[in-house]
Chain A
């Protein structure tokens, strides 16, 4: 693999909550001219397995990835795993645990909606829902719109689905990190400043969070992110340099489900990127045959 210039290491397919199938995603990746990309579905690696089968000679370099939603007494985190062996037991176990938790949550939500608001869907929709790898709030919300229970997905989530506060099990960050490491992968904290996606963690708080996760085996931070300002990017690069962490760059592309452009990571040219990114690229090149 040559040193790539255009990279995007954070995107979702329809295996989780993106709108593009892995094949469509590969087309989009080629369209925008990415030279290295990673697919990072929520708690799922099935899309990566599919992607590996789709790839042909001359296609952009690909890195299997995943994004795990984690939680512990200190907070919520999204942890990315890169370059793992998809056949490894530890990553399969991790996905299964995560998937199982999601499924239990889905059933709890559907029960709640039925009992509290009388929301019910036809049998075939429920079967479709269960067949999804990672059905979540948006999937239920879309169904509620389709069957006239809500005007919009947002309204469905806010006024109905979120009325249930699930105290369900969560993956703990050390579980996710161990599962990734066990499969030869690299654990990286996704959009660090934004926590699990909707928080704002800066300065001292960020410092403590990073040290907490590093003690548990975290190796990198997604310092380039489509939703970051220059200031947030600089802060994360400083942390990465201080602690010798890997640096990655991702857009969090979701196809039509979020208005994020594929390849929009805030990093112009990966070959000109910081030392932490170069080390990351060297590391995954060594381990990746493709």
Chain B
């Protein structure tokens, strides 16, 4: 039951107020007591004592709509510690305010130079606001720069949360107005993404994105051929649990540049999980949603489809630390599997399949999903691993991939060159002999370990079993015309590397090169 308090409660009327409230409680329904303080202007210590006594018989009592002045008194005296005291919400009008952002749960308006308000769609958003606030606080504690709402306000029939955001511009706006800043945006965007994915979250604090993805797949599989649906589910199940943070809705409208600082906003979708789930959502934001209708991204992000597609591609390259198209495509395809799974579910659940346009969307995504499922066996990826066709034309891409990883590890130029020679020798060998006369794939893994800093490069192929090390080293003392043809490449490799080893295991040739740096 709710009882209204009004005017002043001081020593002159405290006992009258007390008696009146107790009488109303006695006559009212026996549900938990709520004191509505919207009209309460002042409360003296005599009034506080009344509240204390009422609470003694009504331990679950709450006081709501408390003005800032009365709240201050209740806070100073410790009342806010011992009972639920809810502040009155300031009323904010957004009439004529610039809409500066739009997310899954609401819209962002600038209310003055320093402040923005996020207005939530659903009328009963207090819980969502509280949730987002907690998420943002936790992210901040874990080192992610973000804006935390400092006030909850009433906007018409909805609630809003107010943030301080000075002179901030979203990355979407920067890209739309100054596309020449693309590379800078990519760098900052990926820097933040890596920071998020490098943040370990204490167990149980955030929802597990894998669970969510399983829900998507369980829904979407019913619209796929049985075998494909089962494969999709199995692939998501196979993704290991990961306690690193993912944002869940990471795109250029949720990254703000405030002066020189990059801030992440819209924190209500924070979760933990494998990065592939993040990349899936990112694919949707920049490409997936707009694949058939290129206007969609224009409405959502304010820039053209081509810019979105280029941005995603560059961001993925930077995230993986490679320019290898093969590598980027591999991870992009895995992200698309996650993305389409989500898009199909979302569209069917929101709009059904009645509308021919929506149905065409779903059919389009489904066709792509089936194609990808047929050629993909896992959602896992390793940025240090590249699989490509073992053909001489791919040497350049492979060399670049290895170099990028060596440069990231601050490899000295001389060692980088020596490794380059060895990698070339081994790859050309595999390309020439492993599958001849057919062609096949080979996988290269680049790993850097500490103390001493050592680079390990592993080649794996499914070609004919062949141990290049079994052959005796060529006699280099012989004059050129007497030497055997071939074999020199392997010899060179052994000379340049600190260790070279071979094994045949699980139907694969596995050749490992080790080189100590410094």
Instruction: List A residues at the B interface (Cβ < 8 Å).
Output: 152, 154, 157-158, 162, 193-195, 197-200, 202, 226-227, 229-232, 234, 258-260, 264
Contact = CB atoms under 8 A, between A and B. Distances in A.
A229 B15 contact: no
Nearest to B17: A154
B46 A198 contact: yes
A158 B13 contact: yes
Contacts of B44: 198-200
Q: Which label, helix, strand, loop or mixed, suits the secondary structure of the B interface?
A: helix
Contact of A194 (B45, B73, B81): B45
Given A162-B12, A197-B11, A199-B45, A229 B73 contact: no
B35 interface: no
A158 B12 contact: yes
B10 interface: yes
B53 A259 contact: yes
Contacts of B500: none
A229 B79 contact: yes
Interface string B138-167: 000000000000000000000000000000
A253 B82 CA distance: 23
Contact of B46 (A162, A197, A229): A197
Given A193-B77, A229-B79, A200 B45 contact: yes
Contact of B73 (A154, A158, A162, A200): A200
A258 B11 CA distance: 11
A230 B82 contact: yes
Contacts of A197: 11, 45-46
Most buried by A among B13, B48, B82: B48
Interface in B78-94: 78-79, 81-82
Given A154-B13, A229-B52, A198 B45 contact: yes
Contact of A230 (B13, B18, B46, B81): B81
A197 B22 CA distance: 22
B77 A231 contact: yes
Contacts of A200: 44-45, 48, 73, 76-77
B49 interface: yes
B16 interface: yes
29 contacts: A152-B16, A157-B12, A158-B13, A162-B12, A193-B45, A194-B45, A194-B49, A197-B11, A197-B46, A198-B45, A198-B46, A200-B73, A200-B76, A202-B76, A226-B53, A227-B49, A227-B52, A229-B52, A229-B77, A229-B79, A229-B81, A230-B78, A231-B77, A231-B78, A231-B81, A232-B77, A258-B15, A259-B53, A264-B56
Contacts of B78: 229-232, 234
A202 B77 CA distance: 8
Interface string B250-273: 000000000000000000000000
The 9 A-B residue pairs with the shortest CB-CB distance, nearest first, are A231-B78, A227-B49, A229-B78, A194-B45, A198-B11, A158-B12, A154-B16, A198-B46, A198-B44
B32 to A, nearest CB: 20
A199 B49 CA distance: 12
Nearest to B53: A259
A264 B22 CA distance: 19
A264 B52 CA distance: 12
A158 to B, nearest CB: 4
Contacts of B79: 229
A199 B10 CA distance: 10
B405 to A, nearest CB: 59
Nearest to A235: B78
Nearest to A234: B78
Nearest to A159: B12
Given A195-B45, A202-B76, 6 more contacts: A158-B13, A194-B45, A200-B73, A229-B79, A231-B81, A259-B15
Contacts of B13: 154, 158
